[in-house]
Amino acid sequence: MSLSVAEYLGQRTDIDQPVIKPVQLKSIVECPFMDGICTKVKKGQQPVCSVRKPADSTLWIVCEHRLCATPRNKKVNGKSQPAGLKDHQKNILWKVAQTIYRGNFTKDQVVVNREVSIPIMETGGRYKADYIMRNTAPGAKVDEILLEMQGGGETSETKKISDHVKKWAKTPTRSNSLLRQVIQKPNSIETNAWRRQQEQFLVKGNIVNQTGGKIVFAVGKLIYDYLYPRVSRANLRDLREHNWTLCLLCITEDENAPKVPGPIQLNVDEDRILFTNYSTFVRTLTDQGGPEPSIFKGRFLSLNDEYTEL
């Protein structure tokens, strides 16, 4: 298991020029991906946006704001004010819109609302939708979308990554090649990323489905490849041109984009898209495993410390 730093504060490490400069931790620096400050730097954390698996170069996003940040507000001089959408966010949202909407529409006809509160009647609690997306084009066949984003998640051995970046920052002859050196032992944890999303995904999807909308789950490649085998055995019908209620789509590195200074370019992976029925998808996802009588056989220990074979 190993990883390498792919992006540092929005700068890709797989090119050698210009040499990336470290930032002072706990300072105020602008986030490259949203209209606001880098929360990692402010907290004193190394601003690693994404890492890469050396075995196949797969990207794993490790910052919650990297894929397509959702905050509606930002603080300026201690006062809250509405946050805008950066070009990066607009680009990702437009690519999603082009994938899920049919017919003719323009950018000004695609509108979004961020971190929308969703009340849960049974518990009195609330969830937040990353984005509610609407298509206001006249006669749009697909319109009301709840869009959830999960590009990546945490890693194991996070301290090893932080220590590596800290050492790089203090090296007088630092270089991008030094920053992107392979770090042994850290690894992506796809299971945790899905577990954190699972309950909200099921509840929010159910609410939207009953309301007449559709849910789109935009995920990174590793999460898509983790989820897809769990539903592919059901041979779900492709409803892309019909009345789909759930779309699982993969946003991954655009390998055809030129390697230029700045962030790694992302794109929708046309080979990793699933349009299907929400209820069928959930039923398939939860209906896994079968009878296994062997788990009730074997060597058992009684409460009197005596073993018996059953």
User: 186-221, pLDDT tens digit by residue?
Assistant: 999 999 988 888 888 888 999 999 999 999 999 999
State yes or no: pLDDT of 77 exceeds 90.
Answer: no
Predicted local distance difference test score (pLDDT) of residue 195: 86
Q: What is the pLDDT of residue 85?
A: 96
Domain boundaries, the chain: 1-84+154-187, 86-151+189-288
- pLDDT tens sequence across 111-124: 999 999 998 877 77
Q: How far apart are CA 238 and CA 243, in angstroms?
A: 10
pLDDT score, position 88: 97
Residue 250 has pLDDT above 90, yes or no: yes
What per-residue confidence (pLDDT) applies to 84? 94
Weakest-pLDDT range from 29-38, 47-56, 258-267, 278-287:
278-287
pLDDT computed for residue 230 by the predictor: 85
SS (H, E, C) the chain: CEEEEEEECCEECCCCCCCCCCCCCCCCCECCCCCCECHHHHHCCCCEEEEEECCCCEEEECCCCCCCCCCCEEEECCEEEECCCCHHHHHHHHHHHHHHCCCCCCHHHEEEEEEEEEECCCCCCEEEEEEEEEECCCCCCCCCEEEEEECECCECCHHHHHHHHHHHHHCCCCCHHHHCCCEECCCECHHHHHHHHHHHHHHHHHHHHHHCCEEEEEECHHHHHHHCHHHHCCCCCCCCCCCCCEEEEEEEECCCCCCCCCCCCEEEEEEEEEEECHHHHHHHHHCCCCCCHHHHCCEEECCCCCEEEC
101-115 average pLDDT score: 95
Q: What is the model's pTM?
A: 0.91
